[in-house]
């Protein structure tokens, strides 16, 4: 900023020296009539105190000159931020003097940069507010100067009408004395030249050079003094104008009405707007001039291109004329040859006509052939539809016959079993031998060693079902007969049901609708899962259900969590590994995937159980977890089966469900008793009458979710709903099983027969659709809140009972240790230990 001010001062000084003195004086002393016009009004904030309306306030905010709030000067004021004060409109001449001081201080600080704009003084100047008398004298002087502007010449000390301050006389030095002292110093510095001339001529040249340099420096100082005097004069004129404006405004405000003042402010606002428009128009003029220059350049380029194009056209005209001459010559030559050409054209035309006729004949033939083929296609489509209809009829008839055959064969097996008599003597009757042979033939399962038998007798039951479970056991003949009969009934039931086809179509439609979006919990999906998941889609749906329930656990684990657990369980000592190894082959011995140590499922089962025992050391391993994992592994991979077990144990079931005390399992049995008395009161009263504790049967249902308790088709339909809806499904199906056979159980009139029937009656239930309708329809309403409340109620009771039992056990042990006679009574477990 200092550099810019110095350059501006230098340019102004040069400009003012080139002007005529009279013109310069007249320009620096504007008359009162000029205050509201031109750029002076924009830079004169003192006029803005006339009115306080909104437009004038905006103009003052824009044009007001602001000063530092502490009236700092020099570099300190230059470093302060520009304050925004509403009182900036009350600008005084005292503040103008502060601004001038700041400029002077900045100029003094930069004396090493540009000496042309520096005051070579050591005194501080002070500007004072003039008195009214000084203002009147100044106005009178301005009027005289206005008339005598033509005769005023040069720059004199009269151009300084303001005092440089009330400075003490000791420190006040006029500029003329300062210049004189500078001359004295120069003259004293040059005095040795006379002494040198008397002593010799050797130093003459050096002294002359020194004198010349001093003269040059003196000239520079004079020029600097003139420039500084010019600057002081201009500053004095500015201050004088401001003083005059303030005085004029104060005198004007005394006698001017308020409406005229408002009109004056409005005129000021209009002047500001016009100035802004003028600046915009100047910018537009510059831009238009630039566009004109660009257009002129483009016109020049277009003229050059036009000249080139004209030359090109002339060259082309010459080429055309040349080609025209050649064409005329060629026409003359071809006129003689036209006779021969006409004959050849006639020949070609005849050939083309013949070819056209041939193509028309081919087109007609293709149209006739197309009509015939379309008719043939329609006839073949009708034949195909008829054949498909006949095939569907035959398929339905075959299915019904196959179902009837299964029923007949089942009854046939039962009849043979009834006719078979126990051996009373060593001699066997021929009828018994025939019945035995028929039983052996009927119990033979479909195998690959008997392909020719399938030609004349269909084998309706394979050795394993689609889940890998044996359909007919190998040990007990009677059990084999019952299992074969049950498998035939199940096959007959599946063949006679057409509902499975519609369910598969619904699943295909639903999965097709979710190809481009994630599956969400909804009523449609719940109803589809309750009706049963098709075999080919069960893996996908189970995995989605498991991830839905354990998402919060998975998000908190690191990648490779399952492998880390498995590695730790294999490398480090695991107390549960011994019991896990003992139970591996006892998990599902009737399933081909777990029947032998080399089976594929055994190693996967071991890995999942070991990893879970390491994750949950409070449980470690409990008998029953192996069966849950084995069922999960039939449709899931190892890691997904691990998370499925986490879902069942840590999400679905209450705490202490699989611990050593089985506290949660005991609580659920008491809750189930309450539900039995509410949903099936007759059956519950029947059990109470004969003192049958059916929880001995149902305890295993809840612990392993019906594994090895129902047939495989029903088992996996229960698991479909269980993995989606949670543990409430176990209560629903447990009640549904009892309701399915309620009438048969009520017919039994003694506790032994009832208990015996309860041990196997669940495997005689084959109709999954009927069982599902009972579980999700007949037993409604079935609120989960009711189950939770009853769990809380019975949990406290069972804990209290377990505490009492533990106290009795401790008393017994303490009494046994103190009594000599009872020390000999040691249990088998204690002897083993």
Helix 204-255 to helix 93-109 angle (10° resolution) is 160
Most confidently predicted of 386-390, 545-549, 822-826: 545-549
Residue of higher predicted confidence among 425 and 734: 734
Q: Are the C-beta atoms of 97 and 125 separated by less than 8 Å?
A: no
The predicted-structure confidence for 51-75, as pLDDT tens digits, reads as follows: 444 544 444 444 444 444 444 444 4
Indicate the SS3 state at residue 470. strand
Cis check for the bond before 382: say yes or no (omega within 30 of 0): no
Tell me the two tokens of residue 179: 């210049």
3-state secondary structure 680-712: CHHHHHHHHHCCCCCHHHHHHHHHHCCCCCCCH
Tell me the two tokens of residue 61: 């905010």
- For 102, 465, 630, 634, 796, the CA distances from 592, given in Å and listed in that order, are 103, 10, 12, 11, 43
Q: Is the pLDDT of residue 541 over 70?
A: yes
Most confidently predicted of 142-156, 417-431, 479-493: 479-493
Residue of higher predicted confidence among 811 and 707: 707
Q: Is the pLDDT of residue 825 over 60?
A: no
Q: What are the chain's domains?
A: 653-820 (1.10.472.80)
Q: Are the C-beta atoms of 262 and 53 separated by less than 8 Å?
A: yes
The predicted-structure confidence for 9-35, as pLDDT tens digits, reads as follows: 778 777 766 764 444 444 444 444 433
Closest CA to 777 of 786, 769, 788, 765: 769
- pLDDT score for 94: 46
Closest CA to 238 of 66, 406, 43: 43
- pLDDT score for 503: 82
Closest CA to 10 of 235, 228, 232: 228
Q: Are the C-beta atoms of 244 and 139 separated by less than 8 Å?
A: yes
Q: Is the pLDDT of residue 796 over 70?
A: yes
Q: Is the pLDDT of residue 631 over 80?
A: yes
Instruction: Lowest mean pLDDT of 413-422, 507-516, 639-648, name the range.
Output: 413-422
Instruction: Lowest mean pLDDT of 105-119, 260-274, 773-787, name the range.
Output: 105-119
Neighbours of 754 (CB within 10 A): 20
Q: Is the pLDDT of residue 671 over 50?
A: yes
Q: Is the pLDDT of residue 174 over 90?
A: no
Task: Give the pLDDT band (50/70/90) at residue 591.
Answer: very high
Residue 726 φ/ψ region, left for φ over 0, alpha for ψ in the -120 to 50 degree band, beta for the rest: left
Q: Are the C-beta atoms of 490 and 713 separated by less than 8 Å?
A: yes
| Nearest-angstrom CA–CA distance, 126 and 49 | 26
- For 44, 60, 519, the CA distances from 51, given in Å and listed in that order, are 15, 11, 74
Indicate the SS3 state at residue 741. coil
Neighbours of 306 (CB within 10 A): 10
Task: Give the pLDDT band (50/70/90) at residue 130.
Answer: low
Residue 4's φ and ψ, nearest 5 degrees, are -65, -45
Task: Give the pLDDT band (50/70/90) at residue 725.
Answer: very high
Q: Is the pLDDT of residue 118 over 60?
A: no
Q: Are the C-beta atoms of 254 and 49 separated by less than 8 Å?
A: no
- pLDDT score for 400: 75
- pLDDT score for 184: 46
Residue identified by tokens 């029937």 is 757
Q: Is the pLDDT of residue 44 over 70?
A: no
- For 78, 190, 469, 471, 582, the CA distances from 591, given in Å and listed in that order, are 95, 129, 4, 10, 17
- pLDDT score for 24: 45
Contacts of 805 (CB under 8 A, 6+ apart): none
Question: Taking the model in full, what pTM does it have?
Answer: 0.50
The predicted-structure confidence for 491-530, as pLDDT tens digits, reads as follows: 666 666 555 557 888 899 999 988 888 899 999 999 999 9
- pLDDT score for 794: 93
- pLDDT score for 776: 94
Contacts of 570 (CB under 8 A, 6+ apart): 610
Residue of higher predicted confidence among 627 and 130: 627
Most confidently predicted of 82-86, 147-151, 347-351, 603-607: 603-607
The angle at the Cα of 572, spanning 571 to 573, to the nearest 5 degrees, equals: 130
Instruction: Lowest mean pLDDT of 160-174, 223-237, 278-292, 465-479, name the range.
Output: 160-174
For the residues of 136-176, what is the DSSP string, one character each?
Answer: HHHHHHHHHHHHSTTT--S--GGG--S------TTT---HH
Instruction: Lowest mean pLDDT of 253-257, 333-337, 606-610, name the range.
Output: 253-257
| Average pLDDT for 245-269 | 74
| Nearest-angstrom CA–CA distance, 21 and 153 | 5
| Nearest-angstrom CA–CA distance, 34 and 30 | 6
Q: Is the pLDDT of residue 731 over 80?
A: yes
- pLDDT score for 453: 39
Whole-angstrom Cα Rg for the chain: 59
- pLDDT score for 116: 41
Residue of higher predicted confidence among 655 and 455: 655
The DSSP code for 461 is -
Distance from the Cα of residue 234 to its chain's centroid: 67
The angle at the Cα of 257, spanning 254 to 258, to the nearest 5 degrees, equals: 105
Closest CA to 739 of 710, 772, 712: 772
Task: Give the pLDDT band (50/70/90) at residue 172.
Answer: very low
Instruction: Round the average pLDDT of the chain to a whole number and report it.
Output: 75
| Average pLDDT for 752-758 | 93
Q: Is the pLDDT of residue 660 over 80?
A: yes
Closest CA to 250 of 46, 66, 37: 46
Residue percentage of the chain with pLDDT more than 70: 64
| Nearest-angstrom CA–CA distance, 609 and 583 | 11
Task: Give the pLDDT band (50/70/90) at residue 219.
Answer: confident
Q: Are the C-beta atoms of 214 and 190 separated by less than 8 Å?
A: yes
Q: Are the C-beta atoms of 620 and 583 separated by less than 8 Å?
A: no
Q: Is the pLDDT of residue 636 over 50?
A: yes
- pLDDT score for 437: 64
Residue of higher predicted confidence among 813 and 681: 681
Q: Is the pLDDT of residue 272 over 60?
A: yes
């Amino acid at each position: 900023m200092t550099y810019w001010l110095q350059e501006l001062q230098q340019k102004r000084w040069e400009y003012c020296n080139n002007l005529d003195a009279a013109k310069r004086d007249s320009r620096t002393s504007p008359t009162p009539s000029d205050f509201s016009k031109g750029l002076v009004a924009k830079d004169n904030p003192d006029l803005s105190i006339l009115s306080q309306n909104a437009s004038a306030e905006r103009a003052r905010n824009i044009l007001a000159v602001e000063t530092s709030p502490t009236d700092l000067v020099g570099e300190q004021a230059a470093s302060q931020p520009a304050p925004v004060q509403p009182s900036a409109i009350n600008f005084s001449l005292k503040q103008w003097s502060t601004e001038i001081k700041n400029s002077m201080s900045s100029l003094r600080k930069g004396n090493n940069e540009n000496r042309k704009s520096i005051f070579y003084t050591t005194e501080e100047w002070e500007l004072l507010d003039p008195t009214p008398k000084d203002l009147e004298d100044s106005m009178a002087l301005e009027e005289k100067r206005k008339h005598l502007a033509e005769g005023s010449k040069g720059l004199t000390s009269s151009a300084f009408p303001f005092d440089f301050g009330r400075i003490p006389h000791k420190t006040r030095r006029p500029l003329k004395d300062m210049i004189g002292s500078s001359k004295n110093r120069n003259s004293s510095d040059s005095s040795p030249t006379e002494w040198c001339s008397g002593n010799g001529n050797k130093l003459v040249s050096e002294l002359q050079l020194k004198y010349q340099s001093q003269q040059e420096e003196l000239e520079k100082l004079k020029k600097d003094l003139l420039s500084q005097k010019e600057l002081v004069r201009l500053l004095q004129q500015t201050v004088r104008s401001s003083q005059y404006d303030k005085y004029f405004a104060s005198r004007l405000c005394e006698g001017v009405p308020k409406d005229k003042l408002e009109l004056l402010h409005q005129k000021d606002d209009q002047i500001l707007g016009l100035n802004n428009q003028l600046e915009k128009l100047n910018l537009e003029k510059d831009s238009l001039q630039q566009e004109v220059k660009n257009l002129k350049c483009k016109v020049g380029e277009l003229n050059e291109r036009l000249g080139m194009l004209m030359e090109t056209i002339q060259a082309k005209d010459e080429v055309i004329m040349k080609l025209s001459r050649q064409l005329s010559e060629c026409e003359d030559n071809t006129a003689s040859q036209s006779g021969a050409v006409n004959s050849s054209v006639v020949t070609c035309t005849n050939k083309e006509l013949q070819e056209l006729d041939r193509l028309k004949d081919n087109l007609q033939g293709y149209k006739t052939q197309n009509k015939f083929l379309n008719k043939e296609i329609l006839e073949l489509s009708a034949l195909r539809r008829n054949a498909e209809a006949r095939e569907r009829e035959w398929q339905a008839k075959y299915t019904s016959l196959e179902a009837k055959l299964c029923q007949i064969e089942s009854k046939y097996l039962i009849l043979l079993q009834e006719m078979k008599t126990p051996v009373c003597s060593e001699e066997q009757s021929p009828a018994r031998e025939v019945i035995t042979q028929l039983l052996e033939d009927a119990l033979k399962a479909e195998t690959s060693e008997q392909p020719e038998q399938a030609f004349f007798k269909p084998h309706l039951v394979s050795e394993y079902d689609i889940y890998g479970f044996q359909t007919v056991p190998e040990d007990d003949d009677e059990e084999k007969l019952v299992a074969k009969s049950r498998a035939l009934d199940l096959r007959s039931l599946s063949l006679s049901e057409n509902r499975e086809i519609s369910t598969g179509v619904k699943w295909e439609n639903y999965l097709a609708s979710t190809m481009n979006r994630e599956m969400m919990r909804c009523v449609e999906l719940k109803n589809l899962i309750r009706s049963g998941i098709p075999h080919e889609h069960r893996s996908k749906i189970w995995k989605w259900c498991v991830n839905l329930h354990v998402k919060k656990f998975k998000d908190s684990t690191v990648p490779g969590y399952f492998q880390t657990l498995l590695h730790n369980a294999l490398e480090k000592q695991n107390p549960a590994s011994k019991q896990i190894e003992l139970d591996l082959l006892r998990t599902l011995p009737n399933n081909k995937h777990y029947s032998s140590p080399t089976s594929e499922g055994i190693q996967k089962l071991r890995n999942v159980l070991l990893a879970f025992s390491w994750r949950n050391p409070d449980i470690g391993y409990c008998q029953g977890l192996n069966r849950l994992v084995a069922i999960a592994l039939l449709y899931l991979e190892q890691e997904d089966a691990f998370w499925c077990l986490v879902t069942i144990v840590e999400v679905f079931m209450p705490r202490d469900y699989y611990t050593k005390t089985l506290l949660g399992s005991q609580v659920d049995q008491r809750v189930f008793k309450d539900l039995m008395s509410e949903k099936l009161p007759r059956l519950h009263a029947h059990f109470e009458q004969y003192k049958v504790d059916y929880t001995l049967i149902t305890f295993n249902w809840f612990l392993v979710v019906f594994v090895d308790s129902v047939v495989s088709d029903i088992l996996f339909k229960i698991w479909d709903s269980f993995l989606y809806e949670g543990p409430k499904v176990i209560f629903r199906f447990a009640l549904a099983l009892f309701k399915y056979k309620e009438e048969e159980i009520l017919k039994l009139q003694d506790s032994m027969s009832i208990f015996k029937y309860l041990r196997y009656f669940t495997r005689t239930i084959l109709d999954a659709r009927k069982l599902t309708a009972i579980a999700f329809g007949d037993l409604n309403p079935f609120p989960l809140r009711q189950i939770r409340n009853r769990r809380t109620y019975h949990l406290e009771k069972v804990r209290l009972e377990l505490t009492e039992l533990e106290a009795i056990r401790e008393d017994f042990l303490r009494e046994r240790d103190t009594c000599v006679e009872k020390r000999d009574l040691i249990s088998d477990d204690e002897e083993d230990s």
